[in-house]
Amino acid sequence: MNNQIKSNIELEYLSEKELNPNNKGLVVLFKHDYYSTNSPHGKELLSNILYSLNSDSISIAKVMFIDNGVSLLDVDSIYNSDISSLLEKTQTAFVCSESLEEYRTELIDRNNLIVADAELFFEQLFTSKPDIIIE
């Protein structure tokens, strides 16, 4: 029996082409206003994700916001500038109207933001499988 501990870690990074082979841009679904856990660490991770998504090398086809993820669109969100930049480079953005009501979100003003009822939102979700889910 081999009891040696391996000290090498292999990491594999997927390029945008591997994530989205049709190269029409990524579809991103935001379900929370943090990543992994609702803690300072989870919020810092989300900040880093937003920074990466705003990179010039990443194209975004669609961004979708549901559940507590709609809080990212609030005028008082700490991520307001990052989300605004993301929305400006996004072809289409959908937000679930029922989630807006539930979380009493006052939307930042963006032209390409489509407020949809749950039925239309899920129709869009099912026809545009997310490449990235923030939950």
CATH superfamily of the 24-134 domain: DsrEFH-like (3.40.1260.10)
Q: Encode burial over 65-89: b for 16+ CB neighbours within 10 A, e otherwise.
A: bbbbbbbbbbeebebeebbeebbeb
Cα angle value 134/44/125 (rounded, 5°): 10
Q: Which are the contacts of 23, defined by CB distance < 8 A and separation ≥ 6?
A: 16, 17, 59
60-115 pLDDT, tens digit each: 999 999 999 999 999 999 999 999 999 999 989 999 999 999 999 998 876 779 99
pLDDT in tens, 22-58: 568 999 999 999 888 888 998 999 999 999 999 999 9
- 8 Å CB contact between 25 and 61: yes
